[in-house]
Chain A
């Protein structure tokens, strides 16, 4: 009797082992495929051209008394400054502006925020706070002012930047200067690239 039970037990164990092997064995595919799909990639790089030309620079203002407000720049010297996106441009671009502190080269200075601008032109998008009847102030950090789509076709697209300045009420007499930077970048560039 005992040997019979042992035999039955071993048979059960063997059956489990066979079931386990059947479950985990990968059977080879023995049929032939009637078709096959394979893919590859094709890539091409389209070069991005950006060309911008500035005209009517530098920006000059007449001699002014302290406390004088919103005096326009001298005609054709920043009044207006032309920022022209040339027709070689093949990518959508964004334009930014910033300026440095007005300084006499010594200890006297005043903020670049005293210089304002108003933009007219045919850009696809203009900063509304700087266009129409609005004027925006220059800042030390780059501020976005316009977008231009591409392609431009056969012609250029120009924006006119009209400049005005206000002199603080108490400001030492001297010649003051600032540096303005126009940064134009591809829309796809790092968002902070012009910062």
Chain B
């Protein structure tokens, strides 16, 4: 008797519930891309930095709040505004505080000719296709009196939450974005500056060449005058 058709049908019957379970199983995904982490800025500048957030592998909407951390110089940072949005979650109206939400957006093979507003398509080396993402722009205000050459360190945190969970322990995901801002002058300039005493190279007594020259001349004049006016010996 040939059992192969029966085995095939049984295999299908086993696989269908598993794949359905996988589809229904919540997957909470937070994907991010930070293009640049080190910037130069000048005193008084409003420096714009950006990063992208995507939800390519999840099946629930990511609700994201931003905050600053590791900000020892208390730099003022403008982030997307915190809003309270009303969401209908499985029939229950739920107010949610968030700076941004990102719907599940799977990877696409081609960039659409007319992309949805606010959606950017990122190319990662490991994947085939493009990742739809939302861009986040933050403005860092550099103090007017920021000293040239100083490096400011700053971290922007993204905290993603998901709704629909009902359990003992709720889960969230955090992702830090670290930035370094080197303060430089707004306009370029270049002048030679050597500390006193090193100019000229050969003389290093802490005296300028003019002073040394003057001293030598003075000594010579004194010697000559001494020779002229010294008392003569009488024989």
Contact = CB atoms under 8 A, between A and B. Distances in A.
A183 B54 contact: no
Q: Interface residues of A: mostly helix, strand, loop or mixed?
A: mixed
B167 A60 contact: yes
Q: How large is the interface on A (under 10, 10 to 19, 20 to 34, 35 or more residues)?
A: 35 or more
Interface stretch (B33-41, B74-82, B92-100, B134-142): B33-41
A16 B172 contact: no
Contacts of B122: 47, 49
Nearest to A176: B168
Interface in A156-189: 163, 175-186, 188-189
Nearest to B225: A9
Interface residues of B, number: 56
A182 B124 contact: no
B37 to A, nearest CB: 8
A177 B170 contact: yes
B174 A47 contact: no
Contacts of B173: 52, 54, 181-184
A88 B31 contact: yes
A51 B29 contact: yes
A136 to B, nearest CB: 16
A87 interface: yes
A16 B217 contact: yes
A189 B227 contact: no
Interface in A68-100: 76-78, 81, 84, 86-90, 99
Contacts of B32: 49-51
A37 interface: no
A95 B178 CA distance: 16
Contact of B224 (A6, A54, A55, A59): A6
Interface of B: 25-37, 54, 56-58, 69-70, 107, 122, 124-127, 131, 153, 155, 157, 159, 165-178, 200, 202, 209, 213, 216-217, 220-221, 223-224, 227-228
Interface of A: 2, 5-6, 9, 12-13, 16-17, 20, 23-24, 45, 47-61, 76-78, 81, 84, 86-90, 99, 115, 151-154, 163, 175-186, 188-190, 192-195
Given A9-B223, A153-B126, A189-B178, 9 more contacts: A45-B36, A47-B35, A53-B30, A55-B25, A55-B27, A58-B169, A90-B126, A188-B178, A193-B178
